[in-house]
Amino acid sequence: MDAASTIDTGREQRISALCATGCVLVAAGAPLAVAGLWAFGSWELLALFRLIPPDILPDMQMGGAVQPWQRAIGGAICLVPALMLSCALLRVRWTLNAFVRGDFFGAEAVRGLRDYAALALWAAVAGLVSVPVLSLVISQTNPPGHKELSLDLGGAQMLGVLGAGILWVIASAMARAQTLARENEQFV
């Protein structure tokens, strides 16, 4: 290995270590933030952080302050994708820690990446499904004509689903290549 590739590998290992730490922080912080915002936040704050669709904010304000049952149910619905994403980040940490050790194509690295991609895909799907469910449930006490069914099918959501799906396919192909490489080693 020449000096240039050693430098590049060291840089990748340092970045991987930073990202692994970031994964732990976000995996712990995101569900706590969601729970805290639902526990104490106003409708305006929930809309600002996109924990309710911003387009339903006027109708939700019409119904008064956030009720305890809305906090509990809204928090539970929003925690599903947040917890799935947290699990995904903890799984990709395996990949990043393998990179820190210089194991860029080992089984642990590939498994962590594949698990991350699968969980991120399901978290993105859960996020898409949670919006209409959330809007229907929390708007039940609104006056007639102000009950909500909101959909959030923006480009960011579609890219999240597509990106996680693509990464899952790539990670699965890497796992398959790893299996083929092991089989070929037995023939040599």
- CB contact set of 83 (below 8 Å; sequence gap of 6+): 31
Whether 126 and 80 have beta carbons less than 8 Å apart is answered as yes
* Residue boundaries of the structural domains of the chain: 3-187
Tokens of 73: 């149910």
**Higher local confidence (pLDDT), 21 or 104:** 21
pLDDT at residue 5 above 80? no
Does the pTM exceed 0.75? yes
Q: Percentage of residues in the chain with pLDDT exceeding 90? A: 61
- 23-63 confidence digits (pLDDT tens): 999 999 999 999 999 999 999 999 999 999 888 888 888 88
What distance, in Å, lies between the first and last C-alpha atoms of the chain? 25
Q: Mapping DSSP to helix (H, G, I), strand (E, B) and coil, where does residue 104 land? A: coil
- CB contact set of 141 (below 8 Å; sequence gap of 6+): 63, 67, 70
